Amino acid sequence: MAGCPIKRITEDKALEIEILRYINFSVNIVGTLVILVIIACLSTGENREIKLNKLFIHSLFSCIAYMLGEAFAWWLKGSSDLIWLLRIANDAVFLSGYLILITFTAYLLAYLSEKNPVPRWIMPMMYLLGGAGVLLLIVNRFTGMVYTIDESGYYQRGEYILVTQLIVMIGIFIDTWVVLKYRRQLGKNRFIIMMAYTVMPLTAVALQLAVYGIPMLSVGFLLFSVLIFTGIQSQQAKRIKEQELENQEQKIALMLSQIQPHFLFNALLSVKHLCKTDPDAAGEAIDHFSRYLRRNLEALESKKPIPFTDELEHVKNYLYLEKRRYKDLLHLDFDIQSTSFYLPVLTVQPLAENAVRHGVSKKETGGTVKIATRETEGEYVITIEDDGVGFEPDIQSKDDKEHIGIKNVRQRLAIQCGGTLSYQSEVGKGTIVTIRIKK
């Protein structure tokens, strides 16, 4: 693993070994530093509490042991006065190879066991293979059957060197069988990453046996470690996004459970009054009121963006009821130029409600709420505008409810469709809220 038989060192050969010494030492030390950074990232915050991450860290430490063993095995090559240290470095290379096999298999099985039962014989088999490798190294100290270090401090392969490679290969083939067997449970991306673990070491071993001195196995371990780490980070980002979305859905549920009682009360009073004065108008109001309530209930189950036309209908039902209440004090203006896009449920309606409750209704002479949409080359733009009392953006109200509503909508826009929300307001002139959704 760390070299090949060297019987007699010529000047050209000595120069070649010197160049390879620096290449191998540099590659392995850099690889060690990169893996240490990965370990540091996995050992901070919530990451350190995840069992799978802990198992992967064990595998990373095994890779570090391999790389440091390789680095010093090459650095000490030809050091006749440090043969004992050279032997320790070479033993570390073999032992860490077995540890990588065992720790990665533990990580793989733990990952799969979260969804499916896995065969119980696999880990005992890995321990058996690792134990056989350790036994070979112990016997090697007395027989030199695996490798020896000559008097000049150079590594010499023994007759049974291929047995050590065979042990590792058997373990890799078992892991390959597991990965192929549970490929559906792994998913496409994770399957590719796990297969890289089997392909990279086998390719690296073949290249190192064919071409002397290339640190392919170290590079393979490094690339594989980075791939796994990238997969872990991707899954964590996905998990965080799902958690954020779940939190937002819970906020929606809470918001719906706390629909302003005065709005319901006033809407019902309006219907009661119409029943006496205009039964046909009362029936129409009840129709809008029932559709408004139905959309709020449907919002509890909606987890994906909805067509803008559905949200617009909900807004119109709400504003119809408010128009019945405020009569000539509330004017409505719709300038809808584009509807072919999606957005999170309850995006425009809460903003229209803010425009009525915190803008127009607080102005003695009333005012207008205008909702407009337009399409540009790269995005859809929605504006909710009122000419009510406005507010000072830098000074929040005591209950801050309108600001909380805007924050809630902004977060859901960002999470579900990458949209943005901004607003402008001036005391005495009104407020404009702008939503932008990229195509």
pLDDT at position 403 is 58
* 219 closest CA partner among 238, 236, 200: 200
For domain 259-438, say whether CATH 3.30.565.10 is its number: yes
With both helix axes pointing from N to C terminus, report the angle between 188-210 and 161-181 in degrees, rounded to the nearest 10.
Answer: 160
Strands (DSSP E) along 231-338, which ranges? Answer: 306-307, 330-336
Residues lower than pLDDT 70 in the chain: 1-14, 45-49, 205-206, 208-214, 237, 240, 244-266, 296-303, 394-405
pLDDT at position 7 is 42
pTM: 0.55
Name every residue whose Cβ is closer than 8 Å to that of residue 216 and which is 6 or more positions away in sequence.
Answer: 203, 204, 207, 208
Q: CA 319, CA 353: separation in Å to the nearest integer?
A: 8
Give the pair of three-digit tokens for residue 297. Answer: 């209930």
All structural domains of the chain with their residue ranges: 11-236, 259-438
* 39 closest CA partner among 22, 52, 54: 54
Q: CA 255, CA 67: separation in Å to the nearest integer?
A: 56
Q: Provide φ and ψ at 237, rounded to 5°.
A: -65, -40
Give the pair of three-digit tokens for residue 285. Answer: 């109001």
pLDDT at position 433 is 95
Integer-rounded Cα radius of gyration of the chain: 34
* 219 closest CA partner among 236, 241, 235, 196: 196
The topology (CATH level 3) of 11-236 is Rhopdopsin 7-helix transmembrane proteins (1.20.1070)
pLDDT at position 46 is 60
